[in-house]
Amino acid sequence: MIIQRQKNPIKLYESIFSKYGDIVFFKLGSFRFVMLNDAKAIEQVLQTDSQNYSKSTSYDRFRVIFGNGLLVSEGEVWKKQRRLMAGSFSSKQVERLQPIMVKETNAILNKWKPNEKIDLAKEMNLMTLEIISVGLLGKRQENDSLVLRQALQDILAYLQSSRHLWLQLLIAPFPIKDKYKFAIKLEKLLPLKSTKKFFASIQKVNELVLALINERRSKNLTENFLDMLIKTSGSDEDSKMSDQQMRDEVLNILLAGHESTANALTWTWHELLKNPEIYEKVKQEVHQVLSGESPTYEELEKLVYTKAVFEEAIRLYPPFWRVSRKNKIQTKIQQYDIPEITNVIVSLYTIQRSHKYWQLPEAFKPERFLENGEDHEKFAYIPFGAGPRICIGMNLAMVEALTILSMMIKKFDIEKAFEKDPTYLMSLTLQPKEGCMVNIKKVKA
Ligand code: HEM
């Protein structure tokens, strides 16, 4: 089962749900699991009974990097941080960030040469990383940006490796109390080049971010996201944020805030290029709405069809293809009793393609998301998660995606340079293994 999971987790999930139903309980060694593909059960775990669940054991590995940041923190720490950070993600702040999105997107688009063949997956990653790092930390010197980019790549490669899974298997027969944490410790001791590179990268990022926090603190500015975080954090217990906590939040946002949006955009392009009539409609809308080369914040609201295209892309290809939780006490999911410390896997990919909730679920139909489109169960469409731990960057991601898509379309005609549908690379996020090869042509005046 583990080998099958590593090879093609989605095939495994699909076959489990079709054989055993939409709520499946099983044991793997000493680990207990429940897999969910049912909207009501998902609502219960992520929203109604969310206080009985914490992030699952699999997030422990991320703590090496994310520390106690928003993605992985729990309880009172999470509550306080979520409250403090909410202001930095408000519509007003996202609006302030939008010109940065335009500027950074332009800088990359200006490097593209007409008639060039490029991999959009790589370009989208670069674009979203530049946007989030400039928006968060301000424009850095080229060298700092390169160090940051390389270090984040090494960190992601480490997170995406499956070494810890094999280590868990290796130690499974031994009477060790917390096998998951033990496997993480063991992994750290492995004399591997990639492990060393990973810890060296964390060290570099820490130094860079902590130096920036010090620099910005002394300047009392309000130019970027980090300045806002510094401003929100006060001196009393309710609002105090240590430098370490701030470093953790910066890393959380840098990592959570670029990969997912980049993958969502790459999948959107895959679908646009496979569906020329839909691409044509998006082009028409973009050329009609944008008065200049780039959209203003107000114009984004008028990109109704383009937004529906993006929403449909993240239905078929949710960047976080599953999220997981663990119950702290014995709970009930629908009619089933779930013993404490069971890992609950919420399968976003399969529920967003389920025949139970969608008409022609495999078809790419942006109309579903237009006014009077298809009705759907709320918890059968959760690309940004749900409940109290719903993505804090959801609005930012939508604004960013529409800004990037419309600017690309206004400037270039993009042509498909791939033959076959891509295969899935399912690690932390859902990615097209072969990237997204395209030819770039300048839009004729
Ligand atoms: C299309 C783009 C994105 C998708 C599909 C996405 C998806 C998600 C999902 C599914 C979760 C919930 C995880 C869980 O319940 O375990 C989440 C949480 C989170 N996301 Fe996003 N995300 C996107 C963009 C962003 C951006 C742009 C940022 C920040 C700039 C961001 C920051 C976060 C953070 C900090 C959390 C943790 C929130 C908490 O636990 O309180 N995300 N995201």
Task: Tell me, in angstroms, the distance from the centre of ligand 1 to residue 278's CA.
Answer: 28
What pLDDT does residue 156 have? 78
Residue 165: pLDDT over 70: no
The average pLDDT across 121-127 equals: 95
What pLDDT does residue 173 have? 67
CA 58/CA 71 separation, integer angstroms: 12
Q: What are phi and psi of 161, to 5 degrees?
A: -75, 160
pTM of the predicted model as reported, rounded to 2 decimal places: 0.93
Q: Which structure tokens are listed for 310?
A: 């993006």
Q: Which of 151, 122, 125, 65 is nearest to 257 (CA)?
A: 125
* Domain spans of the chain, in order of start: 2-442
Where residue 172 falls among pLDDT bands split at 50, 70, 90? Answer: low
Where residue 397 falls among pLDDT bands split at 50, 70, 90? Answer: very high
Residue to substitute in 90, 379, 391, 404 for testing ligand 1 pocket (most ligand atoms within 8 angstroms of CB): 391
Q: How many residues does the chain have?
A: 445
Q: What is the pLDDT of residues 328-373, one digit of tens each?
A: 999 999 999 999 999 999 999 999 999 999 999 999 999 999 999 9
What pLDDT does residue 3 have? 54
Q: Write out the H or E segment, with its range, that includes residue 415.
A: strand 412-416
Task: Tell me, in angstroms, the distance from the centre of ligand 1 to residue 82's CA.
Answer: 12
Nearest CA to ligand 1 atom 30: 257
Per the model's pLDDT, the better-predicted residue between 100 and 63 turns out to be 100
Q: What is the mean pLDDT of the chain?
A: 90
Task: Tell me, in angstroms, the distance from the centre of ligand 1 to residue 383's CA.
Answer: 9
Q: What is the pLDDT of residues 42-62, one digit of tens each?
A: 999 999 999 999 997 777 777
The average pLDDT across 93-122 equals: 95
What single string gives the DSSP state of each residue in 254-308? Answer: HHHTTHHHHHHHHHHHHHHHH-HHHHHHHHHHHHHH-SSSS--HHHHTT-HHHHH
CA 228/CA 218 separation, integer angstroms: 13
Residue to substitute in 252, 260, 347 for testing ligand 1 pocket (most ligand atoms within 8 angstroms of CB): 260
Q: Which structure tokens are listed for 34?
A: 């429940």
What pLDDT does residue 338 have? 97
The average pLDDT across 71-95 equals: 92
Where residue 185 falls among pLDDT bands split at 50, 70, 90? Answer: confident
Taking each continuous run of H as one helix and of E as one strand, the counts in the chain are 19, 12
Residue 131, helix vs strand vs coil: helix
Where residue 169 falls among pLDDT bands split at 50, 70, 90? Answer: low
Nearest CA to ligand 1 atom 17: 391
Task: Tell me, in angstroms, the distance from the centre of ligand 1 to residue 385's CA.
Answer: 8
User: What percentage of the chain exceeds 70 in pLDDT?
Assistant: 93
The average pLDDT across 407-432 equals: 92
Residue 443: pLDDT over 90: no
What pLDDT does residue 79 have? 94
Nearest CA to ligand 1 atom 1: 261
Where residue 436 falls among pLDDT bands split at 50, 70, 90? Answer: very high
Most confident range (mean pLDDT) of 30-39, 212-221, 222-231 is 30-39
Residue 39: pLDDT over 80: yes
Per the model's pLDDT, the better-predicted residue between 183 and 366 turns out to be 366
Per the model's pLDDT, the better-predicted residue between 104 and 147 turns out to be 104
What pLDDT does residue 70 have? 94
Q: Which structure tokens are listed for 191?
A: 């004399």
What pLDDT does residue 158 have? 76
Nearest CA to ligand 1 atom 18: 391
Task: Tell me, in angstroms, the distance from the centre of ligand 1 to residue 244's CA.
Answer: 21
Instruction: Identify the bridge partners of residue 35 per DSSP, sorted by sequence position.
Output: 24, 345
307: Cβ contacts below 8 Å, ≥ 6 apart: 369, 398, 402
| Sheet hosting strand 31-36, strand order edge to edge | 23-28, 31-36, 343-347, 322-327, 53-55
Instruction: Identify the bridge partners of residue 203 per DSSP, sorted by sequence position.
Output: none
Most confident range (mean pLDDT) of 75-84, 152-161, 199-208, 283-292 is 283-292
Pocket around ligand 1 at a 6 A CB cut-off? 70-71, 82, 132, 252-253, 256-257, 260-261, 264, 314, 319-320, 323, 383-385, 389, 391-393, 396-397
CATH of domain 2-442: 1.10.630.10
The average pLDDT across 262-286 equals: 98
Where residue 215 falls among pLDDT bands split at 50, 70, 90? Answer: confident
Where residue 137 falls among pLDDT bands split at 50, 70, 90? Answer: confident
What pLDDT does residue 388 have? 97
- Cα dihedral 285, 287, 288, 291 sign: positive
Nearest CA to ligand 1 atom 39: 389
Per the model's pLDDT, the better-predicted residue between 21 and 148 turns out to be 21
